[in-house]
Structure 1
Amino acid sequence: MRRKIVAGNWKMNKDMKGSVELVKEIIQTNKLFGCEVYISPSFPFLNEISSICELTPIKVIAQNVSEKSQGAFTGEVSVDMLKSIGVDGIIVGHSERRKIYGENDEVLRKKLDNCSKNNLEVFFCIGETLEMREKEKQNEVIENQLNNTLFDLPDFNLDKLVIAYEPVWAIGTGKNASSEQVQEMHHYIRTLLNLRYGKSSDRIPIVYGGSLRPDNSKNIFSCPDVDGGLVGGASLNPKAFLDIISSI
């Protein structure tokens, strides 16, 4: 049986005080989570939040990482640096990184490889734009994104892999993917994973990220090929985030 996962991507929100208050509110509910729970605060607060979560079921992941290992790369943060402060995993390939910062397949491939070699959990984000969806090329986009990165790495640690399907057109736009659209894409991704990895792919969770909220999470989580969610804005509200966790 595949793992069930809900992860909260806080993006560039909350200062130190706000980040600590948010994670403590989540912890202090004393709820028994029916899935694995991850949170992803901003870089400056990862060490503090990791320490707070150390004796809890909550795992902490970084929102990004450099494709470089070390050296004269001003402003960059390496896998080793993140690992040294107790980070459990890293989000790679988020649509905002691809679009705003121009991260291409070559860069993402290197990031994935570094994470896998360091035994860190990877949330690898893939998804199509509205333009590609309207041209009915969403399957082609997904296949290319996987073939040019993850599928090109022969020794990737599948036990540390989570695929996050995030249709770019449904992130912060007010547009919502229907549960039928979500299931269709997750099933297609599952098929591609099976073709590449065979039976081993059965253990890879595929989570959904596209304006997940308490009012739509239950329907989406009921899809047979959806194993959880990567939550954006709603993860900044402890009640909303916990409601989403409870709906899985």
Structure 2
Amino acid sequence: MRRPVVMGNWKLNGSKAMVTELLNGLNAEVANIEGVDIVVAPPALYLDQAERLIKEGGNKLILGAQNTDIHNSGAFTGDVSPEMLKDLGASHIIIGHSERREYHEESDEFVAKKFAFLKENGLTPVLCIGESEAQNEAGETEAVCARQINAVIKTQGVEALRGAIIAYEPIWAIGTGKAATAEDAQRIHASIRALIAAESAEIAEQVIIQYGGSVKPENAASYFTQPDIDGALVGGASLQAAGFAAIAKAAADAKNA
């Protein structure tokens, strides 16, 4: 039985005061939620502060990060290595987010290199995949997702997906207020699992596949009751303690049901 993961991607938002307020609020809100892993991914500058606050709050939250480099040290100004992220207590690392792919021109092959290096360093990759609005309208969603996942499988083998997380985020739904219907999201999630099952039924059965894209407390339960949706990668709604906790509780309730 897969344990759902609800992860908050804070993106480029934060201050020392905001991190303290949000994590203190979250520590209280999630104290009695069981059956779901709850991860927060603040900007790298605030990881140390976040780690301390999570420990003070009882370690119910898991610390994640938003990106990584493909080196652990060297002349790579401005980058953050897996070794550094691990040293600061982060375990779940987002890679391949559509904003990185677009604004930093990260290719499928480069994202696959990040995936491999995170695994080498004992960290959990959260591999973002998803299609643009034009690709969706052209009926290319499944092909785009397959291409992005196959970049990992073809270079590292399907075994690399063991213990990893895939986050299906249709680009047209990220931060737009639009969202895929639960039924449409389930169809894509099922196709992703089938793609992996063609290589290994065992790994396909255990891999966590999150949905992301305008997930809110009001629509979260509709996704989590679908058989192939194992939690969510949450953007804007993760910046509100009560709302993010409500999403996590919806995932736990669906699992426990």
CA contact (8 A) 1:116 1:160 kept: no
Q: Are residue 16 (structure 1) and residue 19 (structure 2) matched?
A: no
Map Cα deviations across residues 79-131 of structure 1 (whole Å, 9 max, x no partner): 11111111112001111111111111221111101100111111110001101
Distance 2:173 2:45 in 1: 28
Q: Does 1:111 align with 2:114?
A: yes
Match of residue 77 from structure 2: 74
CA distance in 1, matches of 2:154, 2:174: 25
Q: Gaps (5+ residues) in structure 1?
A: none
What is the CA–CA distance in structure 2 between the aligned matches of 1:14 and 1:33, rounded to whole Å? 27
CA contact (8 A) 2:178 2:213 kept: no
Matching residue of 1:41: 42
Is the Cα contact below 8 Å between 1:25 and 1:238 reproduced in 2?
yes
* Identity %, equivalent residues: 37
SS of match in other structure, 2:70: coil
Matched to 2:90, the amino acid is V
2:2 is matched with which residue?
2
Please give the per-residue CA displacement for 1:181-233, whole angstroms capped at 9, x wherever unaligned: 10110000010111123322211111100110011101111111101001100
Deviation at residue 66 of structure 1 after TM alignment: 0.8
Secondary structure of 2:89's aligned partner: coil
Matches within 5 A, 1:91-170: 91-154=94-157, 156-170=159-173
Contact 2:158/2:200, CA 8 A, preserved across alignment: no
User: How far 1:156 moved relative to its partner?
Assistant: 5.0
Name the structure 1 match of 2:51.
50
1:133-187: CA deviation from partner (whole Å, max 9, x where unpaired): 1110111111111112344213855443011000001111232211111011000
CA distance in 2, matches of 1:25, 1:156: 38
Matched length: 248
Change (3 A) 1:155 1:50: farther
Q: Structure 2 CA distance, aligned partners of 1:140 and 1:224?
A: 21
Distance, in Å, in 2 between the alignment partners of 1:34 and 1:155 is 27
The within-5 A match list for 1:170-209 is: 170-209=173-212
SS of corresponding position for 1:149: helix
Query: What aligned pairs does 1:207-226 form with structure 2 within 5 A after superposition?
Result: 207-226=210-229
Aligned mates of 1:14, 1:112 — CA distance in 2? 26
CA contact (8 A) 2:69 2:79 kept: yes
Match 1:235 to one of 221, 230, 238: 238
Preserved CA contact (<8 Å) 2:9 2:235: yes
AA at the equivalent of 1:111 = K
Cα contact 2:162–2:203 (8 A) shared by 1: no
Find the aligned partners of 1:48 and 1:131 in 2 and give their Cα distance.
Answer: 40
Aligned-residue Cα RMSD (Å) equals: 1.4
Quick check: 1:34–1:245 contact (8 Å CA) kept in 2?
no
Shift of 1:32: 2.4
Counterpart CA distance in 2 for 1:131 and 1:216 is: 24
Q: Give me the TM-score of the superposition, normalised by structure 2.
A: 0.92
Q: In the alignment, is the contact (CA less than 8 A) between 2:68 and 2:81 conserved in 1? A: yes
Structure 1 counterpart SS, 2:32: coil
Q: Secondary structure at the match of 2:217?
A: coil
Counterpart CA distance in 2 for 1:159 and 1:134 is 32
Q: Distance in 2 between matches of 1:159 and 1:28?
A: 32
CA contact (8 A) 2:42 2:65 kept: yes
